Structure 1
Amino acid sequence: MPSLKDIKKRIGSVKNTQQITKAMKMVAAAKLRRAQEAAVAARPYAQKLHKVVSHLAQREEADGHPFLSPRGKDRALVLLLTADRGLCGGFNANPSKEAERFIRNNSEGYAHIDLMIIGRKGRDFLRNRVGDKITKVYEDITGNVTFKTAQLIGEDIVLKYEDETYDAVYLIYNAFQSAVVQNVTVEQLLPIQAQEEEKHEADSVDYLYEPSRGEVLADILPKMVEVQLFRALLESNASEQGARMSAMDSASRNASEMIGKLTLQYNRARQAAITKELMEIISGAESIK
């Protein structure tokens, strides 16, 4: 049985840990509000742009632009969005497991699948699971998401697709729903495909191209990739803060329960020690008589 000193020391250690988890929860809550506002604000433009491009993908010929043309099943690129830090529940593990599952399930469909990761936690999780499939890792960008960052990564992806390094590009990330709910999402970035619910609308929509169809497609299709990536980064950032706030709240409650159990154990041990001392005193007094 641990001594009173050991129990008291452990109670102090748990209290110190609880102070840290409470502070981290408050920081995550403050960041969550800003991140959620940014993610929600980006959705209307990204969704409308995706709808327009989906209609174009239905109306245009397959050879109208490389981004609209389905290719073979040779090489695919999976872009995984995680965080650089942990202590956020299953935020990093869930999309990483989905990426591993995607590679395993599509290994027969594609001759080769490469993995590009944003966030060092995704790299740490998959480094020993997928081996040399990890081609590039971006670090230290999830804490401050800007469109310029999404643009640079998007340009890299677009360049690799245009020179036919890859035949398809997929995006895996946590979509923000609430502070306690994040949905792992798998999207196909390239080639661009119309959503099932939008296919029936394509025939009823017509577009006038100015200055020309080729120039409009050459400008809007790469931009769509950058915008969708930027939206996913914002969604992932909001999801990270929500997951961290929820995880730290749970950790603080667990610490409170542990402190209560340790305090009860301390009081019982202290009572047992006092009782033992009283019995020794009484026994000594009785032996003197």
Structure 2
Amino acid sequence: MGASLNEIKQRIASTKKTSQITNAMQMVSGAKLTKSEVASRSFQEYASKIRSIVTHLVAAQLSDLEELDSYDSEEASETGNYHMMLTSRPVKKTGYIVITSDKGLVGGYNSSILKQTMKMMADDHKSQDEFVLIAIGGTGADFFKARGINVAYELRGLSDQPSFDEVRKIVSTATTMYENEVFDELYVCYNHHINSLTSQFRVEKMLPISDLDPDEATTYEQEYILEPSEEAILDNLLPQYAESLIYGAIIDAKTAEHAAGMTAMKTATDNAQNIISDLTISYNRARQGAITQEITEIVAGAAALE
């Protein structure tokens, strides 16, 4: 019984240490989440402004079109007045950017993304020759490589609040691959942050740019003075806009990752506390049993002496 008591005490002590670690990790993830939410809100201000500018320029260029779907028409493609990032072309290959974490301890964050991405690719493609995969995050890159799926480009070791400079190479590579017709459309697969307890798997089409509505264009009394030309500006601005969309998805995914980490560590801490409570009850019962047995032995010994 003594050995059993010592064993229970050791388990309680080790579980308390684990609980302290997971509680600290929960607080760290909470702090990271707060910073990520602030960064995400700040980015939305920039994204709104650049979208407004791009929409205005596109609407001016395509003033004869009433609906965005007209971008995809053969007649629109033949006019030569449309930037290649706005027009659809026959899809021979599809590009996917899959955003996961570099490490674990984030609950079901990674498994949700990878499971649904694999299902989507299996439903939409007959072979690996029909898509190009770009992985952000070591978990996703290792997952696809382990299953024999070629990863054209990967990025690991992103900071908790990634700057655009950190991801500039991979987002510019993705837009360049589209311009060079390595693939004909690009999607980003990631977990969208809803709140600290909830995230949602999301697949967003980034290229060709198809979410601009000319009706949203701001009307000014005086038109922009464009230098050197509208076409030259769009040649530089549209790739930047596409890159900003991808960067926004990365920030969103990072925010969801921190929220998942905080939730996972809170669950681990709660489970540790439950284990400690159960072990404490077991310890008290074992200790009470040992005391009762000792009393019984003393009484029996005294009776034998009489």
TM-score w.r.t. the length of structure 2 is 0.83
Instruction: List aligned pairs for 1:1-289, cutoff 5 A.
Output: 3-50=4-51, 53=54, 56=58, 58=68, 61-62=76-77, 63=80, 64-108=82-126, 112-129=130-147, 131-194=148-211, 198=213, 201=215, 210-211=226-227, 212-289=229-306
For the residues of structure 1 that align with 2:110 and 2:246, how far apart are their CA atoms? 18
Q: Which moved more, 1:105-114 or 1:148-157?
A: 105-114
For the residues of structure 2 that align with 1:173 and 1:54, how far apart are their CA atoms? 26
1:108 Cα deviation from its structure 2 partner: 4.4
* Structure 1 pair 69–110 and aligned structure 2 pair: CA distance change class (3 A): farther
Q: Which moved more, 1:262-271 or 1:272-281?
A: 272-281
For the residues of structure 2 that align with 1:84 and 1:208, how far apart are their CA atoms? 44
1:68–1:193 contact (8 Å) kept in structure 2: yes
Q: Which amino acid aligns with 1:15?
A: K
Q: Which amino acid aligns with 1:221?
A: L
**Per-residue Cα deviation, 1:25-75 (whole angstroms, up to 9, x for no partner):** 111122222111000111133245346546738376335222122122321
Q: Which amino acid aligns with 2:21?
A: I
Q: Which amino acid aligns with 1:287?
A: A
Q: Secondary structure at the match of 2:140?
A: helix
- Structure 1, gaps ≥5 residues long: none
**Per-residue Cα deviation, 1:212-268 (whole angstroms, up to 9, x for no partner):** 232122011100121112211221222222221122122111111110000001111
**Per-residue Cα deviation, 1:167-214 (whole angstroms, up to 9, x for no partner):** 11110122222211222221111111136xx47x26997976723232
Q: Which amino acid aligns with 1:16?
A: K
For the residues of structure 2 that align with 1:203 and 1:33, how far apart are their CA atoms? 33
Aligned pairs, number: 285
Give percent identity, aligned residues only.
32
**Per-residue Cα deviation, 1:132-190 (whole angstroms, up to 9, x for no partner):** 23222211114341111232212111221111111111101222222112222211111
